[in-house]
Amino acid sequence: MQEGIQARLFKGLQTRIGGNESLVKWLATTLDIDISLANRKANGSVGLSLAQLELVIEALPLAVEDLLPNDRKNQIFVGSYSYFRNNEEVEAYLLSIIKNFEFASKSGAHLQYFARDLPLFYFFLNKEMARFKFSMWTNELRSSGLQSFNSNIFTLCEEIAGLYRSLHSTEMWNQEVMKNQREQIMWYYGLQAISAAERDRLLAILGEILIDYQNWATVGNKGDGKLDLYVTTFNTMNNGGLLTIGKHSQLMTALSGVFFISSANPHLAESFREQFVQQRSAATLLSQCNALSRAEFFRSMADHLEIQE
DSSP states along 122-162: HHHT-HHHHHHHHHHHTT-HHHH-SPP--HHHHHHHHHHHH
Instruction: For residue 309, name the pLDDT band (cuts at 50, 70, 90).
Output: low
Instruction: For residue 3, name the pLDDT band (cuts at 50, 70, 90).
Output: very low
Asked whether the beta carbons of 124 and 132 are under 8 A apart, the reply is no
Taking the C-alpha atoms of residue 154 and residue 94, their distance in angstroms, rounded to an integer, is 10
Instruction: For residue 7, name the pLDDT band (cuts at 50, 70, 90).
Output: confident
Asked whether the beta carbons of 42 and 10 are under 8 A apart, the reply is yes
CA count, 13 A, side-chain hemisphere, 241: 26
114, amino acid identity: F
User: What is residue 73's predicted lDDT score, i.e. its pLDDT?
Assistant: 60
C-alpha separations of 121 from 213, 226, 239, 302 in Å: 11, 15, 12, 18
Phi, then psi, of 195 in degrees rounded to 5 = -85, 170
Does pTM surpass 0.75?
yes
pLDDT tens for residues 83-115?
788 888 999 999 989 988 998 888 889 999 999
pLDDT, average across residues 141-154: 93
Residue 281 has pLDDT above 70, yes or no: yes
